[in-house]
Chains A and B, each alone.
Chain A
Amino acid sequence: MSQNDLKPERFAGYPPDARKVVTDHLATLQRLPLSFLPGLLRELIDFDYKFPAERRARERELAHLSSLPAAEWTEWFKGFQQIQLSKALEDFDWIKSPAQFVERLSAHLWASHQLDAFRQASNDYADRLRAAVPPEPPPVPRLGISIIGQGVASYDQPLFRKLRAHGAYYKHIKPEYGLRQLLDAVAIRAKAHPLPYGHWYIDGGESAAHDPTLTAISYSDLEPVRNVVLRKMQEEIDKPGMGPEALRTIMAQMRPSDLGMDKLNGGKPDEVLRRFEVSVLTEGSGTQIFSTVFAQWAAREALRRAQPLTLLVRFAPRQRQRPMNELLSTEARVPPELDPIGSLVDGDFAAYYNWLNQQRLPGAEQSCFIVWFEGSNQALAIGPTTPRGTESASVADLKQVLAWTL
C-alpha cells in the first residue's frame, strides 16, 4: 500500500468528522513519507472523539503543512524519508488500521536500530511545528491542584521534595474545609471561564460533591468498567499464544460499548469523555489496579490532550501490592487491604509529574500549582509571583494560599 492509495473511498470506515478532515487534506497527506503518515492518521481516525484543543491543533498543523513551500517540505521530512521500512510494513493496510501499523513500526525501528533516527526526526518535526504554529496561549493562567495523602494521619518524612525549589512551602496550613475550599475555587473558575473540557476534577477514590460544570472522572465511578477490563484481560491472557503485544493491540481497540459504558450514567452520552476513560484504562499501565496510578495517568493524559485551564487531582489510598495475577482477578473477595503510606509516596511524586506536565503546556510561565497533604498543615504553592525555594511560617487556609498564588 502506498500514498497513492489515499483516495476518499478508502476512508469510508472513518467516523464522519475524521473522514472530512482527511479528505479535505488528501493532497497534503499523499505527499507525506510512509514512516510519518500512519502516525498522523492514527490521530485523525479518532478526530470525532478528540478534545477541542486536540482538534484545533491538528487542523492548524494540517493547514500549515498544506501551505508549506516545496523546499521547506523537503527539510521538514528529510529525517522521516531516510527511515527504511520493511516490506511487511509497506504492505500493511495502514489506512484501515493506523494504530496497529504504528505498533509494528515501533518494533521495526527498535529491531533495525533506527529508533534514534526516528526519534530525532520526530523531535525536529515537533520543534519546527512549534515554531511555525505556536501553541495557543490559555485565556487565563492555568491552575493545577494535587491533593495527596488521604487516609494518612501523620507522616514524618519530608514531602514535596521535587517541587520545593520551584515554590513556597507552607507548614502552618489550616486544614479545615480544605477540600471544599479547593473544589469551590475550581468551580468558580469553571463558571468564570466556561470552556468545554476546560476544568477537570480527577479523583483516585470516590468523588467528593462537585460542581456539575466540571469534567469529572473517578476511580470509584469506573469500578464496573475496570472489572470488565480486567475480566477481558484475563480472558485474552488465557488464550493460547497470547502475548503482551497482541494483548495490548486488543486492549487499544476496545470501545466504550465493549465495556458496558453505554449503560452507565443513565446512558448519558459523552462519547469524547467515555473514550478518554477507556483509553486511561486500556492504554495506561497499572491504571486498572492501582488508584494512584489511575489518577496520575489520567491527569497526564488530560493535560496532554484536553489542555485544561484547571485540573484538580485528588489521590486516594491504593490497594497493597499483591501478585499480578491476583491483582488482575475480579473474583469476589473481601475488600483489598490498602496501603495509605505507599499511596502518599506515590501521590507526592505524581504531584511532581502533574506539575511537570502542566508546565509543558502553553502559558507555563504564568501557570500556578498547589499541592496539599490532605487534612494536614503542609502545602506547597508555585506561581509566577511566588518566591521560589522559600518556606512560609504564615498561618493560612488554602483559600488564602490560592489567593496569594493566583
Chain B
Amino acid sequence: MRKRSFFPDSSELLAHSRRDFLRDAAGVALGSALVRPSWARAAAVPSKRKVVVVTFGGGARDQETFMPEGQENIPHLMSELIPRSSFFTQVVNRGILGHYVATASLATGVYETFNNFAAVSPESPTVFEYFRKDLRRPSSDAWVVAPSNGFNRIGESSHRSYGPGLGARVILPKRLLTAATSGGKGDYQHLLRDNYESPYFTPDLAGSEFELQQLEMILKLSADDFRTHAQALSSPDELSVYIARQLMRQVAPSLLWITLHDIDVAHAGAYSLYIEGIRRTDRLCSELWKAIQTEPEYAGNTTMFILPDFGRDGDDDASGNGFQHHRTGDVLSRTTWMLVAGPGVREGAVFDRAVDSTDLVPTLGALLGFSASFSQGQPVREIL
C-alpha cells in the first residue's frame, strides 16, 4: 500500500507535525531549552499558588484536532488557550493504555500496573498525598472531580507511608446527581452515561447520604438547585465542569484535578459522536480557563495543565480500528501533548522534546513545593 502523507512512525515525527500545525495556525513560537528568567517565577507566592489539572480520559487524534482539517473541532484551544500557553508536543505514555490505570499513573508519576477495571487504589503515592503531607495541607485543599464510579479511589494510594487520610477528596458528579434525584433518573439519563471503555459494562450508579451531604455542606447547593441546573446540561463532562466550578467558588482548593471523559464515546464506534466529544471538551477547557481568570481565589496565581491520558489508535495499523480504540500500543496511541498556562509560564512557546507522562507529578511538586520522592519522572524544566 502506498505510504500516506501523515502516518508518523515515531513520536518525534508526530511532535514535529504538531509543532508545524500549531505554528501555521496559531502563530506560536518554537520554545528553547532555556530556563526561564527568575522574574517569571515570582508571579505567585508558593503558599497562594494553585494548580488545576485537566486530563481527558481518551485522547483525540491530531487529524481530528491539530491537523488543518481538524482545527475546526478545537477553536478554543487554537485561538484562546494555545497562544497563552507553553505547549509540549510529545508527551509519551509508556504504561497501560486503560483510563483508570493511566490516570492513576499520571497522578502518581509511576506507571501503575493494576487491572484497569479493578476497584483498587494506586500503589504509589499520589500527587495529592505528597502535596498534603509535605505541605501540611488539610483535606479540603486537594480535590478530584472524576467521571465515573471506577475512579472513586484515585484520590489516595495504598502506599504504607502515605495512603488513608492523606489523599484528595474525590467527587463523582454522576453519583451526586443520582443521589439528588433519589434514583429517579428520568430527565437526567444523558448526564449519567458511564464507562465508555466497553459498552458491555455499565454498572448502575448509586448515590448515598454522603454524596447529598457533599452537595449541601460543601458545594452549598440544594438538591433542587442542582437538579434544575443539571437539566440544562448536555453531557457528563458538562456536569463535571459545573461541579468543578462550584468547588472552586465554595472551597477554592489549591490542587484541583478534573478528569473529562466525553471523548471516549469513540469506543462506541460512531465518528460523529467522537467529534462532538472533542468539540465539547474544547469548549469546556476554555470555560475552565475563564473560570480561573474570574474567580478571585484563582485569578493571577493559578497554573493550569491540560493533557490527555494517552492517544488513540492511528488509521494505519490494521490490528486496530482507527479512532475507535487505543489498543494497538502504536505511536499515536502512546504519544499525546500537554498545555500549560498561567502566571510565569512562557506564552506561545512550543516544545518538541519528549516529555514522559510520569513527569507531571514531579513538575507539580517543583511548582507547589513538595517532593515527589517515589515518582519515576523528572520535572519539566521549561515551565519552572
Contacts and interface: CB of A to CB of B under 8 A. Distances in A.
Contacts of B200: 233, 236-237, 244, 247-248, 251
Given A248-B200, A323-B189, A323-B190, A285 B111 contact: no
B1 A360 contact: yes
Interface string A221-237: 00000000000010011
Of B115, B194, B202, B329, the most chain A CB neighbours within 10 A belong to: B202
Contacts of A248: 198, 200
Interface string B79-114: 000000000000000111110000000000001010
A245 B268 CA distance: 16
A113 B111 contact: yes
Nearest to A301: B321
A339 B273 CA distance: 11
B27 to A, nearest CB: 25
* Chain B at the A interface: SS class: loop
A328 B94 CA distance: 34
B271 A297 contact: no
A286 B329 contact: no
Interface string B231-269: 000000000000000000000000000000000010111
B272 interface: yes
Interface in B265-306: 265, 267-273, 275
B37 interface: no
A297 B189 contact: no
A349 B323 CA distance: 10
B96 to A, nearest CB: 5
A113 B202 contact: no
B59 interface: no
A110 B94 CA distance: 10
Contacts of B321: 297, 300, 353
Nearest to A323: B189
B330 to A, nearest CB: 8
B189 A237 contact: no
B195 A346 contact: no
A287 interface: yes
A357 B94 CA distance: 28
* A interface, size bucket: 35 or more
A1 to B, nearest CB: 24
Contacts of A245: 115, 117
Nearest to B265: A321
Interface string B178-222: 000000000001101111111111111000000000000000000
Interface in A370-401: none
A119 interface: yes
A237 B189 CA distance: 19
A321 B270 contact: yes
Nearest to A356: B315
A353 B320 CA distance: 11
B318 interface: yes
B324 interface: yes
Contact of B269 (A111, A285, A360): A285
Contact of B272 (A116, A324, A345, A357): A345
Given A324-B195, A328-B199, A286 B189 contact: no
A141 interface: no
Dominant SS at the A interface?
helix
Which of B111, B113, B269 has most chain A Cβ within 10 Å?
B269
Contacts, number: 121
Contacts of B1: 359-360, 364
A113 B269 contact: no
Contacts of A296: 269
A286 B268 contact: yes
Contacts of B194: 324
B325 A325 contact: no
Given A113-B94, A247-B201, A360 B318 contact: yes
A324 B199 contact: yes
A129 interface: no
Contact of B271 (A237, A322, A326, A345): A345
Nearest to B118: A243
Nearest to B94: A113
Contacts of B190: 322-323
A266 B275 CA distance: 42
Contacts of B270: 286, 290, 292-293, 318, 321, 342, 346
A275 B316 CA distance: 27
Contacts of A297: 269, 321
Nearest to A233: B200
A289 B272 contact: no
Contact of A286 (B98, B113, B199, B201): B199
A342 B117 contact: no
A115 B199 contact: no
Interface in A283-333: 284-290, 292-293, 296-297, 300, 304, 318, 321-328
A210 interface: no
A353 B113 contact: no
A285 B325 contact: yes
A243 B201 contact: yes
Contacts of B265: 321
Contacts of A113: 94-95, 111
Nearest to B268: A286
B276 to A, nearest CB: 8
A372 B80 CA distance: 38
A85 B96 CA distance: 17
B268 A349 contact: no
Interface in A14-63: none
A121 interface: no
Contact of A161 (B69, B115, B203): B69
Nearest to A326: B189
Contacts of B329: 110, 115-116, 119
B96 A325 contact: no
A350 interface: yes
B269 A290 contact: yes
Given A290-B270, A324-B195, A328-B202, 14 more contacts: A110-B113, A111-B96, A115-B329, A245-B115, A247-B198, A247-B200, A247-B201, A285-B268, A288-B199, A297-B321, A324-B193, A345-B271, A346-B272, A348-B271
Interface of B: 1, 69, 94-98, 111, 113, 115, 117-118, 189-190, 192-204, 265, 267-273, 275, 315, 318, 321-322, 324-325, 328-330
19 contacts: A110-B97, A112-B113, A119-B329, A237-B200, A237-B203, A243-B118, A285-B269, A286-B270, A290-B269, A293-B268, A321-B265, A322-B189, A322-B190, A324-B193, A324-B199, A342-B270, A345-B272, A349-B271, A350-B271
Interface of A: 107, 110-113, 115-116, 119, 161, 233, 236-237, 242-245, 247-248, 251, 284-290, 292-293, 296-297, 300, 304, 318, 321-328, 339, 341-343, 345-346, 348-350, 353, 356-357, 359-360, 364
Query: Would you list the 9 A-B pairs with minimal beta carbon distance, nearest first?
Result: A293-B269, A286-B269, A345-B272, A286-B268, A244-B198, A342-B272, A349-B271, A244-B201, A323-B189
